[in-house]
Amino acid sequence: MSTRIAVPKMYKLYIGGKFTRTESERYTSIKDAKTGKKICNISRASRKDVKNAVVAARTGYNTWSAKTGYERGQILYRLAEMLEGRKEQIAHEITLTTTNSKAQASKEVMKAIDRIIWYAGLADKYGQLIGTVNDVQNGYFNFSMAEPTGVVGILLPEEHPFLALISRMCAVITSGNSCIIIVSEKSPLPALTFSEIAATSDIPGGVINILTGSKKELIPHLASHMDVNAFDYAESNTAFKKEVMTACANNIKRFIYSAFKDKKDYYDDDKNENIMQVQSFTELKTVWHTMGM
């Protein structure tokens, strides 16, 4: 009896709520970090894929930002529920593509689930915490309220490929933004499996877009795109930082440097679960009203 040959999975890009092949038809093989054995193939995104992701993110933003904070919180909670059901698979993929032990991988996934729950609870409260009624001269009523920034690009670090993804994504989308995420080059599998979870959740298509491939190739196109409103630089490698800052300056794009010096910081709740993480991706709109006599 012949030995069966396993069929390696070909992971696609996640753009606009759909799984699409890269426009360039290129792919990269992912190998087991410990044995060097091939695990699967992943799509290698191109400049055209970045453009498609931005278009999808703009559509997703229009839908997501129109929802109430309560609705977004319920949807995020549902996302955590679905992730709970596939936590063992993601933990296994972390152990395959990193040097982490099974216990470390399991800890990372559980922390990620808890982090989504925290942001789900914050979704209908951050407005009251950030907004304020301002003390102005007599005869006027003045208040400030937070609104989402728009489309946000996120560059993830290589460390903690899944916890970093969830931490930065939640900080961005909780207030109503959409995002395009460039994930870890060495360990993209957890993010790609998460895209399958997101696709079957209640999150509207285009709110979360996940690109795999060469960071060096994708970063300039995402950072310089004129319809991207902010860029979250979470990459611990500062090699691309100056290039991204320069690209952001071309259309006065907001640049947020969220990288941690210590890779263990993603487990620090005080640094990751606070109102400032959401506030970084909001704009304050101030409204004046005359007071009736």
> What is the CATH number for 282?
3.40.605.10
Residue 3 lies in a domain: no
What's the total number of domains in the chain?
1
In this structure, what DSSP letter does residue 145 have? E
Compute the distance between CA of residue 293 and CA of residue 241 in angstroms, rounded to an integer.
54
pLDDT computed for residue 292 by the predictor: 63
Residue 57 lies in a domain: yes
pLDDT computed for residue 293 by the predictor: 54
Containing structural domain, residue 33: 10-290
pLDDT computed for residue 112 by the predictor: 97
pLDDT computed for residue 35 by the predictor: 87
pTM: 0.92
Cβ(204)–Cβ(227) below 8 Å: no
Compute the distance between CA of residue 60 and CA of residue 203 in angstroms, rounded to an integer.
9
Residue 192 lies in a domain: yes
Residue 94 lies in a domain: yes
First to last CA, the chain: 93
> Would you give the distance in Å from CA 50 to the centre of its chain?
15
Give residue-wise pLDDT tens across range 170-212.
999 999 999 999 999 999 999 999 999 999 999 999 999 999 9
Residue segments in the chain with a per-residue pLDDT below the cut of 70: 1, 292-293
pLDDT computed for residue 1 by the predictor: 59
Measured CA to CA in angstroms, residue 239 lies from 191, 219, 223, 281, 291 at distances of 23, 11, 14, 24, 54
Total residue count of the chain as it appears in this document? 293
> Would you give the distance in Å from CA 19 to the centre of its chain?
17
Query: Closest by alpha carbon to 129, among 139, 140, 144, 142?
Result: 144
Query: Closest by alpha carbon to 70, among 17, 120, 6?
Result: 120
Compute the distance between CA of residue 207 and CA of residue 219 in angstroms, rounded to an integer.
19
Residue 5 lies in a domain: no
